[in-house]
A and B are shown apart, each in its own frame.
Chain A
Amino acid sequence: MSFSVTEPSKRTKWLAGILVVGYALITISPLIWIIATGFKSGPDSIAYPPKMIFEPSLEGYVNLFTERTRATQDMLETAGPPKTWYDQIARDQGTVITGPSRYGARFLNSIIIGFGSTALCMLLGTAAAYAFSRFRVPLKDDLLFFILSTRMMPPIAVAIPIFLMFRNLGLNDTHLGMILLYTAVNLSLSVWLLKGFIDEIPIEYEEAALIDGYTRFQAFYKVVLPQAATGIASTAIFCLIFAWNEYAFAVLLTSGTAQTAPPFIPTIIGVGGKDWPAVAAGASIFLVPVMVFTILLRKHLLRGITFGAVRK
C-alpha cells in the first residue's frame, strides 16, 4: 500500500470528518436550543417531552421588550380592540402592554461598555506592546510578568476591594467605571498578545520609514499598525468577548443606569412567572453583536491564532 507523509489516508479523513461534525453538533446544539426556545410559546417551552417541532410565536420577543400587566375584564373593555400585532400577542396571553421594558437600555449599555473598553484596551495595549517590543524598558521582563500576573487570580477575588474603591470614587454603576474596569482586566491579555505580534514585524520596516523621512510616530502608525492589523483584530475579539460576557463584576457593580445585559437577562424570569421564551429571546439577541464582530474579523482571527507558528 502506498504511504504518504502529507496526504492522510481515506480512513483518517473519514474519522476526522466524523469528529469535526460531532464536535460542531455538540457546540451548536445549545445555541439552536436557545434560539428555538425564543420562538416558542410559554407552554411549548416547558412541554415534556421537549417539542422539536412547534408553532413559532413572537411571544418571547414581545414579552422581552415590553412591560405588561394581567388584564382584567374592565381594562380590556376600556382599552378597546388591540391596535398592533404585538398588542394582539399580549392580549392572547391575557395581558396588556403598559410600556417598553428596560432590555433595550441594558443592551445599549452592553454595547457602550463592551466596545468602549475594547477600543480603549486596544489603544493602550498597542502602545504598551510597541514600547515593550521596541524600546529598552527598564525592568522589562519584571514588568511584563507583573502585567501577566494580574490575570492569575480569579476576578472575583478582587471584587470587594474594587467595589469599595468604586464607591469612594463615585464610579459605581457608571459607564466610565465599567469601561475602566474591563479595560484594566483585559490589558494584560492585549499587551501580551500584541507584543507577540509586533515582535514578529521586522524592525527594518520602521527603519526604512525613518530613512524615508518619517518620524518615529509616523513610522509606527503608517508602517507598523497596518502590519499588526491581524493581531489587533484578533486581540480585539478576545477583549470584546470577555467584556461582553462578563457577569460577576456587572452584577456587583451595576444595578441601574450602567447595568449590562448579562445581569439583566436572568431578572426577566421573575417578571410574571417563569418566562423562558423571553429569557431565550434576550439571550439570542445578546449573541448577535459578538457573532457579527467575529464573523467580520474571522479572516484575521484564523490567521491571528496561528500567527508565528509558521515562518512565512
Chain B
Amino acid sequence: MAQIRIENVRKDFGDFTAVQSSSFTIEDGEFFMLLGPSGCGKTTTLRMMAGLELPTSGKIYIDGEEVGQKPASQRDIAFVFQMFALYPHMNVRGNISYPLKSQGMPRSKIKAKVGEVAEILGISDILDRPVGGLSGGDRQRVALGRAIVRDPKAFFMDEPLGALDAEFREHMAEELRALHDRMAATTVYVTHDQLEAMQMGDKIVVMNHGVVEQFGIPQEIYDWPATKFVAQFIGSPPMNFLDFNGTIGAGQATVHLNDVSIEVPESIEGGNGRLTLGIRPEHVLLDDAAPYRGRIVATEYLGTTQIVTLDTPNGLLKARVPSNKKIAVGESTGLNFDSRTITLFENDHGHALRSRANEGVLTHG
C-alpha cells in the first residue's frame, strides 16, 4: 500500500488541455474521490496515475517513487473499469487469475489465491462460469477480484458503479467501502456523483475544466466550498447564491443585502463590488419576524423535509424546512440565515472570501 503524490501534472491532447497543473496528495490507505462533471479531467488524471496516459508535464509519485513516464505494467496498481472490461474469452477464474499469471506465479499458488479472493467477494460458486452470462453485480465483483488478487500498491476505479442500476448501486457502494476498510488499501475513485463521493470518500478532490477546485474531507468541502463551482456542484439542492453589490472590510461581520444587514462570519479578506452570499438550504430559516423577506413560489415534498422555493430581491432561494411546517404558496415570509454557515464569494473568479469560519479549510486546501 502506498501514498500517491501528484505534482503539477498537466495533460494536453493536441490543442486541448485536459488537466492543468494539478497537485494533491493521497495518503496511504485513503479512499480518495476524484469528483467533477464529465469532461473535467478527472478520468484523465486517474489514467495518468495508472499509466494509461502519460502526463505532458509534472510528476507522479507512488510510494515515493517517481512513475510519471513508466508504463502501467510496471506500476503495480490495479484498475477497475467502468464497463468492467472482463476478458470475454475467459471464465471467471481465468479473469481473476490473469494478473497472477503475468507474474509467473505457480499454478497451485494461483489457485489458492483465487479461491481466497472469491471467498472474500462471495463468488466462489461462479468461478467456472463464463463471464458473458453474469449479472452486473457479479461482473463488478469479478472485476474487483481481478483487482485485489494481486495485492497491488493502489486501486484505481473509474466510475465502477456507473454501469449498475440505481437500486444495486447503493448496495455495491457499501460492499466496496467495506472491502476497502478490510484491505486498508489506497483507493482512488472517479465519480461524477457528488452523493457517492460524500458517502464513500475519506477525501475528495473536486475538479472542473481540468483544474482542481478544492481538496479536502467531504464535510469541509460541503460546509466551506472554496469556489462557487464547488458550492453548486455539491449538495442537492445546491448552495443558494444571493447576488448583491456591497462592501465588507477585513474584520467586519455584516453585509447589507437590499438595505437589510445580515450577519456573516468575521471576514479576513475584504471585498467590494459585486459579491455573492452563499448559504445552504438547511441553514435558511423561515421566520415571519425577520426583516429580509421573500415570497413563497413553490414547495417540493421530500418525506422528512420539504424544499421551499422563495423569490427574494436578490434572486431565487431554496430553503429546507421540516415537512410538517405549513407553507402557503404565494405568501410572503421573513428569512433568517444561520450566520455561522455563510460563505461570501467574489464574483470575478468565483472564489470564496476568507473568513474566520472557513480559514482553516481554505488554507490547507
- Genuine A/B complex: yes
A210, A212, A215, A227: the one contacting B146 at CB < 8 Å is: A212
Contact residues on B (Cβ < 8 Å of other chain), bracket: 20 to 34
Give the A interface residue count (CB, 8 A). Answer: 17
Q: Answer whether residue A223 sits at the interface, using C-beta atoms and an 8 A cutoff.
A: yes
Query: B8: shortest Cβ distance to chain A, in Å?
Result: 25
Interface string of A109-122 (1 = CB under 8 A from B): 00000000000000
A208–B81 CB distance below 8 A: yes
Question: Does B88 lie within 8 Å of A227, measured CB to CB?
Answer: yes
A204 within 8 A of B: yes
**A211 touching B72, Cβ below 8 Å:** yes
The reply to whether B87 and A213 contact each other, CB–CB distance below 8 Å, is: no
How far is A215 from B99 in the complex, measured between Cα atoms in Å? 12
Across the interface, name the chain A residue whose C-beta is closest to B89.
A226
Contact B85 A213 (CB under 8 A): no
Is there contact, CB below 8 Å, between B85 and A212? Answer: no
A216–B74 CA distance with the chains assembled, in angstroms: 12
Least CB separation from A208: chain B residue: B85
* Proximity bits, A221-236, B CB within 8 Å = 1, else 0: 0010011000000000
CB within 8 Å of B: which of A177-234? 202, 204-205, 207-216, 218, 223, 226-227
Contact yes or no, B103 A213, CB < 8 A: yes
List, in ascending order, chain A residues with CB within 8 A of B72's CB.
207, 210-211
Choose one: B81, B88, B102; the contact of A213 (CB below 8 Å): B102
Chain B 49-67 residues near chain A, CB threshold 8 A: 50-52
Bound together, the chains give a CA A214 to CA B73 distance in angstroms of 6
Are A211 and B77 neighbours in the complex by a CB distance under 8 Å? Answer: yes
Task: With A210-B52, A211-B50, A215-B73 as known contacts, state yes or no: A202 contacts B102, CB within 8 Å.
Answer: no
Ranked nearest first, the 7 interchain pairs of A and B with the lowest CB-CB distance are: A204-B85, A213-B102, A212-B99, A210-B72, A226-B89, A208-B85, A211-B79
* Residues of A near any B CB (own CB < 8 A): 202, 204-205, 207-216, 218, 223, 226-227
Interchain Cβ contacts under 8 Å between A and B, 26 examples: A202-B85, A204-B81, A204-B85, A205-B85, A205-B87, A205-B88, A207-B79, A207-B81, A208-B85, A209-B98, A210-B52, A210-B71, A210-B72, A210-B73, A211-B51, A211-B52, A211-B73, A211-B78, A212-B99, A212-B102, A212-B146, A213-B73, A213-B103, A215-B73, A227-B88, A227-B89
